[in-house]
Structure 1
């Protein structure tokens, strides 16, 4: 991509301005052009395999999601379109809606049609992007179409109003289609009903403080921002509905107060939840707040975080040499690919360009960049609704999310753990291990295999702490009578984790793992992986050449330590290592306590990361921790290096914490 020169006066943190966003949008759109079908209705991008919806649906996805980017680009330029983007997407709208697509149509030479929108079908998702793009570009595209094309396109979109969506954020796709069709005068009653149904459904999932679940009791992730807030707020804004905007804008503002803390100083969003291949779509709710005036952030902070996110991915290879977005986090990374993901799925990243709808003279574009929350000061902030504790440190700009509330489990059954939800912690610099030893996990070993966390029961959050309990699972079911009550205390860069195990058979091995730090390879092979082990305090650590360091030390209950290699790596690098502690249960209730940290320092320019283990003592200057049994469980007292003291009482399924 050809980018303009940096502007360090206006953008001292990122150097990027609106012109950079426009240049990136132009580059992404130019790169997909060679992959369009002759009639422009389908964009077939290269990829390892089609999604479960099939190649035709994937081609529609390529059209719809890049159309959304083209709409932001041209609407933000008041219709100026030197690349002729809208002509191509208008042609695709014509070709794509000529007739329903059945498998036999391929034999009839139909290589363009989009197919019928059916219940819970992927075309319903893409119809929302098409409708939103048409709504944004209406004066320059829709209003200039032939009546026959408008009728066909309107009829195709209207099918979304009558179909049943997946029972999660998908309810917002008929809402988005309905918003456009009502404005265009097409099936207005059905369109308005679709809007009301969508808003009514997500109302049942709103917990307060700006947080929704996503159709499951404890499903919290980036969909809160790039879907559950984005679509209602955009609809209210475009419809000019002041009452609706006041309602959903206030929720967005509350959400952004915590959400802005989930970006590191290097621009990375916290790596947690599904569909992470959408990457810088994480910037969408930040721009939505600025666009509607419902944000707690200063204009310069909004741009600093959003531009930081976009630049973070581009600087780390998220765009291929051909200018395309692969399925992954930086480069292609197969473990991040969901079954619904097709080669064009990453282009929901287009949502991150919502800021182009702001006028060029808007303060979000003209104000001097200001630091994001992670850069200002050390902070440990509870987010009660998702059950999260957000820990950030200004010296290295890292953000850590301690998870005691999000599991993505359905209400009627328990699935196998998803590493992107079930881990005890996530961060802006690490990713969970998908193939290999689990990171940030506490488990009982059953027949040599670690138990799963399963459904998480939140026990509360507060200043510097979060807690939960779970019934460990093995072999597809909960271990009879076993409960693990977990607590994290955090301050500065340090964290203390405690797990009270009740009901386990005496002599059962337990395993606690820390952060998985990843790089380009493990130094001198896995035989070099080791940990410093001492009788009183087993400890382990792993460090990359970029100085990203994971440390874990046993405080109570642990007797052994190791560093487990992850040859398959994570989304942050092709090889990784995880510090591990091991202990053994006794009769009755047993407490296990560890002290750890994830830290980083800036690396010299061009230095390539590799992973090695620390032979030196880890977790030096760690908090002092004292434990003592109580009638119902254990008491934990933590004296932090800055003089703060916290005391916690742990019992089965119950935790209380006080700052003394």
Structure 2
């Protein structure tokens, strides 16, 4: 027999059409974890890979994160047969005298993150996880939670974790200082960027933490908190506005935009749609919300996202540590179960009763101003052009935040070898080298502007090299213009979209002056040079396991040399499914823009990208 990794996915074979299908999915996702619970129930160790925090905190993560799906299942009347295991684990994990104690608490510690799921459980289903405990166990559990909520949390979405712990403590009648709760809520609201967007702390980036954390937790608060009606209304109103933008981060097949960190949380990205339902916020017609929600989980059901025993892997479209973060332990992926929040709603809720509606058609580019993005809906895909995001303190940050283009269908590549310029992908990116070995690409920015549906940024790969980049939608193409000022010679490589590679080298390629094309079995990807001095086209196959969705990919590139002085590179890139009319698009690449007009337009109408502008 040939091993089929997609069959190990607990979602495989589930039609995922109805509420009952999702209830089944929660149990199917949880059951592979049972062999890995410790004898006392407090610790769940799913693998040997490490994270920046200690093993006890990682084991708590494995214990707590499944609750994000289990709790809504039970709240909505579903049967979960292992509450005794969770009650035993909760009592033992919070008991300093027990061998499975989760460990001492500290400021900004990972335990504070995971205890939010416990608070959520106490708030929503105390009859299952709190009321059956003995009095001495309740004392132990409450003491641990109160000690946790009194500590300091990181200045970002973590501040919601105190709020969630407090919702649970309040529900079960444990006293605490509400002043600290209000302080964190006020500080979280101060991260509002306008138009429904937040920033996730004092940082120049907005990513999936905005929908699956900031909005997700805010909408839970809007349902479960007592009083505070004005704030709850603000949370609902922001989510209602945000829905009109974040729908452009989802493709017509249900795939979410692969962008930013924590991609291993996978279908947590669709949790925002479920949170709208949970909070009764009909931001779009229920049929559309349900369509976005259900298409998303079905997309994941066909992906090889689990190990052979059905445990979710670290990775995205397949097991892959290369794309992970230092805080990803083997239990981290189970934040994906936040997706199942609307299981807490009854069968007759309008969300569940609605028939799924397809994604609306968007023929024109859509500017997502707060994030510094422009979305283009192309056949089978959404391409998002981006300027104004950055993260300079994590592995792969350049690729996760600073590429020129991201895609729901093609995701992005992480560079695997920073000392092999010739083997680098640079998909959606311009790479530069001054020695032919090491390389730089866009990382941090000096300026980021959005002018209608056009983007501008200024950045420095080295202190003495300045690059101005304009990004222009030209559906299904997009155009990149780079004006480069350098005091020395540089080599350049610029990449298009990475598409899936077939076995046995069955794909065809074309490479010539100013052009490279891959004709794959499923997609066609092209890059064309519109510069006055065209670069050489190059059809390459990136290092395996660098793309988030496909383990093996194909990538068209343009390669060239620059001398000292000022140079202008103009690039057009596109990719389309093979079933689409790619030949027509390929035959008519977009014309070269007028850079003087483009510069004038940016300066006269451009505004600073709110996500980038920390002064706003």
Question: By the TM > 0.5 criterion, same fold?
Answer: yes
Task: Sort the Cα spacing of 1:125 and 1:92 in 2 relative to 1 into closer, same or farther, 3 A.
Answer: same
Give the number of equivalent residue pairs: 584
- 2:29 corresponds to: 28
Query: Which residue is 1:404 aligned to?
Result: 387
The alpha carbon displacement at 1:518 in A equals 3.0
Check if 1:493 corresponds to 2:468. no
User: Counterpart of 2:376 in 1: which secondary structure?
Assistant: strand
Using the alignment, how far apart are the partners of 2:508 and 2:107 within structure 1?
Answer: 51
Q: CA deviation at 1:531?
A: 4.0
Report if the CA contact (8 A) 2:149-2:166 is conserved. Answer: yes
Alignment of 1:558-637 (within 5 A): 558-569=534-545, 570-585=547-562, 588-601=565-578, 619-627=586-594, 634-635=595-596
Are 1:402 and 1:488, in contact at CA under 8 Å, matched by a contact in 2? yes
Q: Equivalent residues in 2 for 1:376-387 (5 A)?
A: 376-387=361-372
Partner of 1:76: 76
2:67 paired with 1:67: yes
Structure 2 CA distance for partners of 1:204 and 1:417, relative to 1, 3 Å? same
Shift of 1:41: 1.2
User: Tell me, what secondary structure is at the counterpart of 1:623?
Assistant: coil
Contact in 2 for aligned 1:3/1:23 (Cα 8 Å): no
Distance in 1 separating the partners of 2:494 and 2:324: 27
Q: What does 1:166-177 align with in structure 2 at a 5 Å threshold?
A: 166-177=154-165
What is the CA–CA distance in structure 1 between the aligned matches of 2:566 and 2:19, rounded to whole Å?
58
1:544 equivalenced with 2:530 (yes/no): no
Pair 1:529–1:4, CA change in 2 (3 A) = closer
| 1:516 matched residue in structure 2 | 498
How many angstroms does 1:617 deviate by? 11
User: How far apart, in 2, do the equivalents of 1:331 and 1:259 lie?
Assistant: 25
SS at match of 2:105: coil
Flag the 1:617–1:350 CA change in 2: closer, same or farther, 3 A: closer
Distance 1:227 1:625 in 2: 41
Q: Which of 202, 206, 225 matches 2:192?
A: 206
Give the alignment of 1:223-622 within 5 angstroms. 223-241=209-227, 242-373=229-360, 376-393=361-378, 396-409=379-392, 417-434=397-414, 435=416, 436-448=424-436, 449-473=438-462, 478=463, 480=464, 482-502=465-485, 504-505=486-487, 507-519=489-501, 521=503, 523=505, 531-534=510-513, 538-546=514-522, 548-556=523-531, 557-569=533-545, 570-585=547-562, 588-601=565-578, 619-622=586-589
Q: What TM-score, normalized to structure 1?
A: 0.83
- The change in CA–CA distance for 1:266 and 1:586 in structure 2 (over 3 A counts) is same
Which residues of structure 1 form unaligned runs of 5+? 7-14, 101-109, 604-613, 628-633, 636-646
Corresponding residue to 1:91 among 63, 85, 88: 88
CA RMSD, Structure 1 to Structure 2 (Å): 2.7
The SS at the match of 1:471 is strand
Residues 1:235 and 1:220: Cα distance change in structure 2 (over 3 Å): same
Is contact 1:256–1:295 with CA below 8 Å preserved after alignment?
Answer: no
What corresponds to 1:103 in structure 2?
A: none
Q: Over residues 447-497 of structure 1, what are the superposed CA-to-partner deviations in whole Å (9 max), with x where a residue is unaligned?
A: 123323121245332443222221223xxxx2x2x3211111113312111
Query: 1:311-370, CA deviations, whole angstroms, 9 ceiling, x for partnerless residues?
Result: 111111223442221111122111122111111110000100011122211121111110
Gap runs ≥5 in structure 2:
1-9, 417-423, 607-616
